[in-house]
Chains A and B, each alone.
Chain A
Amino acid sequence: MTTITADRPTKQYPLPDTTLTQRSVVSELRALLIMARKEWIIFTRYPSWVIAFIIWPVIFPLGAIFTAKALSGPDEASLPAFAALAGTTDYVAFIIIGLLIYMWLNITLWDVGFQLRNEQMRGTLESNWLCPTWRFSILLGPSLTKLGTSLFFLILGVVEYRLIFGVRLIQGNLALILLVLVLVIPSIYGIGVAFGSLVIRFKEANAMVFLVRGIFMIFTGASYPLAVLPAWMKGVAAWLPLTYAIKSIRDVSLQGATLIDILPELQMLAMFALIVPSAGYLIFRFTERRARRTGALGQY
């Protein structure tokens, strides 16, 4: 092999100025926001997505509502039995609240992984990863858009049901409902980040989403009272932050529960908010390191 020559070139060039591109909290936040903006722009450039986003909140809970209507019997004779389990006779509002919150959490939950997968498929994941931005920002930034749009989607669902079907979903303390939503977000992102790590590892999102989405749907009591679940399933439900979020919002909205009433659920949500994101971050760091060893980032 020819040995390396070290004698050219001799001309001295000025070093381009890189001092203007130093990382700071502000620049990192700016990066986070522009990632969200980028996703919003791409989202709005597919009009069919926007239309689906407006119609879906009305369509999704209808199946469960009509099933419940059929099961409620003549003159809604079975309603007292339902009320004994759910704490309310308003089964329509009960189902809509559960499913809308489930949908909101679901969209946010999977979005981290889906965004990563989309970037991988487009071929842009590596060019993002090449930038000196915090990896966690690249993970969370794009999904901030979905957090915002899905929150809008939740509000839209509430308004659409009020206008089209005359259902009043929010009857209790709105501030308490918002508190529950704020407390559940870190856990949702924690699970989302862990899921995103699985996407990097296995390069396939749909199969896992179908599996885990089904598990969440059943164990969180999105469309029925948790009281109907067998004991072992209730045990599993107790480990899911979504269970507490859906229950406490229903309690506040349909039964007028106060802060004291839902304090146990809030405590659980706060605990999850501390543990789940940390665990998600650790899983992500581990997977990212592994991806750099195996070259999985650029693979489809």
Chain B
Amino acid sequence: MNKPIVQVQALSKIYQQRKPKKNGSFWSKFRPNKSALEDLVAVDQVSFDIHRGEIFGLLGPNGAGKTTTIKMLCTLLEPTGGKATVSGYDIVRQADQVRQHLGAVLTGERSIYWKLTGRENLEYFAALYHIPPKIARGRIDALLDRLSLSSRADDYVERYSSGMKQRIAIAKALLAMPPVILLDEPTVGLDPQSARNLRELILEIKAEGHTILLTTHYMEEADQLCDRIGIIDQGTIIALDTPGVLKQSIDELDVMQLEIENFDPTLTEVLKRLPTVENVVSNHLEANGAWSLALYTTDSRDILPNLINLIGTKSGQIRHMEIVQPTLEDVFISMTGKQLRE
């Protein structure tokens, strides 16, 4: 068995934050006061390994600790505790070597210069990665060609679409041909077509032998791209396995999807107390004013009469009902009781 290319052991990040003070004077801001600080645990003892050539996903809602984890791995943040290595180099003691072995896209389109052209951006970052100019020129041409940006290579980036900017940001991360690529929410803000193209590109990058760590809060994206997924919530990895195994873990549950008109949301708590019901998540649909209900139960047949009766007593009307295959979002909901988008 090969040694994992990324190893993370009990990695933690705790920020010290100033407590909000209601009656503090202006000058109190300048006085050091340790008791006025409180700990904010962003990442709590996270452990995982990433193997050479795989796409590993960190899936979780906003604020779960995904970006903090990725920032520690790319040496922008110092961990409070634990240990991690990239290509065998320690992220704290050998930060320079770590940076040499990874490419990262953190803030997407904002990580490049909009007043430079696409080509100028890549020339700039190639020099910062110490790539000799001759080699850099060849790689830049090849990358621009491959990412279908050759015809716009000499336009200012500010005139690019979001998808094109994101591709330049990814080209920047690939310039030095690092073994590990870190992608933080790579498809956020992209239109569906650009997001689809980018996902295909990520799979191509993987096929070339790069190892990829990506963070996302889109379950379909994690499901489609990742060999293994760590589901992260409140700084802790609550589940880690292949998408298939994770979904199997709630296989014994029936996932009932309902669309209800005139639904009384207070009924959600009542439904949760029904026998065989594990969890219920209700959501107001802006588009048609109805409510969607996801109900997780060990026996959908048993629950059905009760369900119809309860909703009917509150004058709700069931417009649609089906039992669906569990998704990664269902895994997350069954474990945390909340949705990924919350």
Binding site for B on A (CB under 8 A): 1-9, 11-18, 20-24, 27-28, 30-31, 33-35, 37-38, 41-42, 45-46, 122-124, 126-133, 138, 289, 292-295, 297-298
Contact = CB atoms under 8 A, between A and B. Distances in A.
Given A123-B110, A124-B110, A132-B130, A18 B238 contact: no
Interface residues of B, number: 67
Contact of B100 (A8, A11, A18): A18
Given A16-B177, A18-B101, A126-B76, 14 more contacts: A2-B245, A3-B240, A4-B240, A5-B245, A12-B53, A15-B179, A17-B177, A30-B127, A38-B124, A45-B115, A122-B114, A130-B99, A131-B99, A131-B129
Contact of B132 (A11, A12, A27, A292): A27
A123 B107 contact: yes
Contacts of B130: 21-24, 27-28, 30-31, 132-133
A11 B207 CA distance: 11
B284 interface: no
A42 B116 contact: yes
Contact of A12 (B52, B101, B106, B156): B52
B116 A38 contact: yes
Given A122-B113, A297-B76, A2 B53 contact: no
A9 B53 contact: yes
Interface string B81-123: 0000000000000001101110010110011111110001001
Contact of B239 (A2, A33, A133): A2
B240 A18 contact: no
A124 B99 contact: no
A5 B110 contact: no
A16 B209 contact: yes
B78 A292 contact: yes
Interface in B7-48: 15, 47-48
Contact of B49 (A6, A30, A42): A6
A21 B129 contact: yes
8 contacts: A2-B241, A8-B228, A17-B177, A41-B116, A131-B125, A132-B96, A132-B97, A295-B15
Contact of A41 (B115, B128, B227): B115
B70 to A, nearest CB: 11
Given A9-B53, A126-B76, A127-B111, A34 B179 contact: no
Contacts of B333: none
Contact of A34 (B78, B124, B172): B124
B270 interface: no
A31 B53 contact: no
B225 to A, nearest CB: 14
Nearest to B109: A123
B71 interface: yes
A18 B179 contact: yes
A44 to B, nearest CB: 10
A298 B76 contact: yes
Which of B128, B130, B133 counts the most A-chain CB atoms under 10 A from its CB? B128
A130 B76 contact: yes
Given A31-B130, A131-B129, A13 B240 contact: no
A1 B111 contact: no
B210 interface: yes
B74 interface: yes
Contact of A132 (B100, B135, B236, B241): B100
Contacts of A17: 177
A127 B240 contact: no
What are the 10 tightest A-B residue pairs by CB atom distance, in nearest-first order?
A123-B110, A13-B209, A131-B128, A27-B130, A13-B53, A127-B111, A16-B177, A34-B127, A132-B99, A292-B78
Contacts of A8: 51, 54, 227-228, 242
Nearest to B106: A126
B1 interface: yes
Contact of B106 (A20, A127, A132): A127
Contacts of B53: 9, 11-13
